[in-house]
């Protein structure tokens, strides 16, 4: 068929044997694939961004020695659903295992032991600089071990290893001084300070209100637009979990949307780059980091707003089920992880106050000694 105009970079169109047009992503040295969504839709843009955001070039299958780690990972990647339920999760897992394959692809799978896995995971714990990125850390080591458990479970099923050495390896332990609560949770004072610096009508202000009042990951927030608002609600599908959510548009968020200048209102996404293009996840993170610095909040970041909304809901005494209906979390364990920064003193004041009022309302009747003596 004739070459179609206006296709995004690395995307080609063709007709399959049924005469249906298909779109394919092909980029030399990188994992490619077919698009499920139609060209021009928000879903298509999300799929395209996942392909473009892939950071690690894939290792060609014909270079992998049979029985090697590279061979194992290549076979594991052959069925994308092994990596996760959504394109975003699959891209994340692919990046983790691609890094493992680049470093250890030459090793024979059958000779891998739990000691080898423990050494590989331990090497991921120290943080280091790679170009402009900081890589490694406790959480990175934990994620690597988790994916290696799944990878070697496949190796066992495929007859490439007699057991699962990753499952036998020790879990990553947190030593003295290594414990971290993750991203800083924004306080009410920090939210106010940011608002005072970035006025309504600025992209910086809209970005903050959008994440604060939807409680979503930045990868979902940056893909939201006016087309997602119906009947006063934002309707969207989470990229990581595939969950469909419908959140009411808070007055504060609506105010920030309406305040934007007309030039910013013609895009499919609320938040776009200075060139009018959708942000990438990493690009938005870096851009928002600078906006926080401008407001004098170097300790704050985009993900901390998601935790701030969870903190707010916990402080108001909302149930886990209510919080999950907003955040899209699946389990109570995930909710507890995000609500560790609940204001302890405020919650304690509420708890002691309730106990005091309960006791006062349930005291047994007492004699009035003054009346008894006067009688």
Tell me: the pLDDT tens digits for 180-206?
Answer: 556 889 999 999 999 999 999 999 999
In a domain? residue 105: yes
Is there a single domain that holds both residue 214 and residue 141? no
pLDDT of residue 367: 45
Is there a single domain that holds both residue 55 and residue 146? yes
Is there a single domain that holds both residue 197 and residue 322? yes
Indicate which CATH number applies to the domain containing 60: 1.10.150.130
pLDDT of residue 176: 53
Is there a single domain that holds both residue 276 and residue 321? yes
Is there a single domain that holds both residue 159 and residue 255? no
Is there a single domain that holds both residue 108 and residue 250? no
Give the predicted TM-score (pTM) of the model. 0.62
pLDDT of residue 178: 52
Is there a single domain that holds both residue 130 and residue 19? yes
Indicate which CATH number applies to the domain containing 230: 1.10.443.10
Domain extent for 302: 188-349
pLDDT of residue 341: 66
By CB atoms closer than 10 A (0-12, 13-18, 19+), residue 249 is middle
pLDDT of residue 139: 85
Q: Which of 104, 139, 168 is the last residue of a domain?
A: 168
pLDDT of residue 302: 94
By CB atoms closer than 10 A (0-12, 13-18, 19+), residue 47 is buried
The total domain count for the chain is: 2
Paired strand residues for 130: 133
Tell me: the pLDDT tens digits for 101-120?
Answer: 998 999 999 999 999 999 99
Is there a single domain that holds both residue 241 and residue 141? no
pLDDT of residue 369: 46
Give the integer Cα–Cα distance in Å for 186 and 68.
Answer: 46
Is there a single domain that holds both residue 194 and residue 239? yes
Is there a single domain that holds both residue 246 and residue 282? yes
End-to-end CA distance of the chain: give it in Å, rounded. Answer: 109
In a domain? residue 252: yes
Is there a single domain that holds both residue 252 and residue 143? no
Is there a single domain that holds both residue 133 and residue 42? yes
Give the integer Cα–Cα distance in Å for 206 and 252.
Answer: 10
In a domain? residue 65: yes
Sign of the alpha-carbon torsion through 105, 54, 80, 11: negative
Q: Which residues of the chain fall below pLDDT 70?
A: 1-5, 29-31, 53-63, 131-132, 174-182, 265, 341, 364-375
Cβ neighbors of 289 (< 8 A, separation 6 or more) are: 301, 302
pLDDT of residue 290: 95
């Amino acid at each position: 068929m004739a070459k179609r105009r206006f296709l995004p970079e690395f995307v080609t169109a063709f007709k399959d044997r049924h005469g249906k047009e298909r779109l394919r992503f092909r980029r030399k040295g990188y994992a490619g694939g077919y698009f499920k969504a139609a060209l021009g839709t928000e879903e298509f843009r999300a799929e395209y961004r996942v392909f473009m955001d892939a950071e690690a070039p894939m290792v060609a299958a014909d270079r992998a020695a049979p029985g090697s780690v590279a061979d194992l990972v290549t076979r594991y990647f052959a069925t994308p659903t092994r990596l996760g339920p959504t394109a975003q999760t699959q891209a994340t897992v692919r990046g983790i295992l691609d890094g493992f394959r680049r470093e250890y692809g030459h090793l024979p799978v059958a000779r891998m032991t739990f000691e080898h896995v423990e050494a590989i995971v331990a090497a991921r714990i120290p943080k280091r600089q790679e170009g402009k990125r900081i890589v490694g850390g406790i959480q990175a080591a934990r994620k690597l071990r988790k994916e290696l458990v799944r990878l070697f479970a496949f190796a066992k099923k495929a007859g490439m290893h007699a057991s699962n050495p990753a499952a036998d390896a020790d879990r990553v332990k947190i030593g003295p001084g290594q414990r971290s609560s993750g991203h800083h949770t924004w306080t009410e004072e920090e939210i106010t300070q940011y608002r005072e610096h970035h006025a309504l009508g600025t992209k910086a202000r809209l970005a903050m209100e959008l994440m604060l009042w939807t409680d979503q990951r930045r990868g979902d927030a940056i893909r939201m637009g006016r087309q997602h608002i119906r009947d006063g609600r934002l309707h969207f599908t989470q990229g990581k979990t595939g969950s469909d959510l419908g959140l009411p548009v808070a007055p504060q968020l609506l105010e920030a949307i309406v305040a934007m200048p007309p030039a910013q209102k013609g895009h499919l996404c609320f938040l776009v780059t200075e060139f009018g293009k959708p942000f990438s996840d990493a690009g938005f993170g870096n851009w928002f980091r600078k906006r926080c610095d401008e407001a004098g909040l170097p300790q704050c970041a985009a993900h901390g707003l998601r935790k701030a909304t969870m903190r707010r809901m916990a402080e108001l005494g909302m149930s886990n089920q209510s919080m999950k209906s907003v955040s899209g979390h699946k389990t109570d364990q995930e909710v507890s992880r995000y609500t560790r920064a609940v204001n302890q003193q405020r919650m304690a004041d509420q708890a002691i106050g309730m106990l005091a009022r309960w006791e006062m309302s349930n005291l047994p009747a007492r004699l009035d000694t003054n009346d008894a003596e006067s009688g």
